[in-house]
Amino acid sequence: MTPTELLIVGTGGLAKEAAQLARRIDPRGQRWHRIAYVTHDSQELGRELIHGAVEHLDSEVLQRSAAADLVIGTGHAPLRRLLAQRFAAHPGLSFPNLIHPLVEIDPSCVTLGRGNMITQGVVMTCDIRIGDFNLFNWNCTVGHDVVIGSFNVINPSSSVSGHVRMGDACLLGTGCRILERLALSSDLAIGAGAVVTKSISEVGTYVGVPARRVQQ
């Protein structure tokens, strides 16, 4: 494998964690010989971050012809979708799954798309189907026979029980629980510590035990 550049879109905390995870996966730079951050703000160019610097504007990345791997480094679900769709059209970019080396995923039991970020302590069991560009943060769990769409953000210590169906661009807050055999539509926000006991089809923010929709 010829080493390539790893581009991380974003300059915030999750982007730095993505760089840290990438170097945990590839400590000797045999896969990614360098890491560079991508921003929309020209005033950030040259700023030094973990394992790399802010070197590129997003508009420049979309115009260049050089091949590279790219990771979406934001924990905001709608923005993950927007950025992923924007960069996915570039023929020279690839979107690796970043999976912490201590996470055990059986490829015969878990189907992964591309561009997913799976951090330390994540547990996935069996017969799971996962789309693209999802974030699975520290110590979250995904049970058997679960289907998860794309661009979702599943925050630390969240639990998705068996036979759950989840759409796209949902945010699961820290420590929330999704009980078994439920369906969640797209573009939902589940508050930290909430317990979802019924399927949800109406877009909105849900908090509490049991989780109820917050009136806007």
Q: Which residues of 41-63 are buried (b: 16+ CB within 10 A; e: fewer)?
A: eeebeeeebebbbbbbbbeebee
Rounded to 5 degrees, φ, ψ at 63 are -95, -20
Mean pLDDT by 10 residues, the chain (216 residues): 90 98 97 97 97 96 90 97 95 96 94 98 98 98 98 98 98 98 98 98 97 89
Q: Which amino acid is located at 20 in the chain?
A: Q
**pLDDT score for 65:** 78
pTM: 0.95
Q: Which two tokens stand for residue 175?
A: 């420590």
pLDDT score, position 1? 64
* pLDDT at residue 27, as a whole number: 96
Which residue matches tokens 């581009």? 7
Domains and CATH numbers, the chain: 4-96 (3.40.50.20), 97-202 (2.160.10.10)
The pLDDT value given to residue 101: 97
Q: Which contiguous run of DSSP H or E holds residue 213?
A: strand 212-213
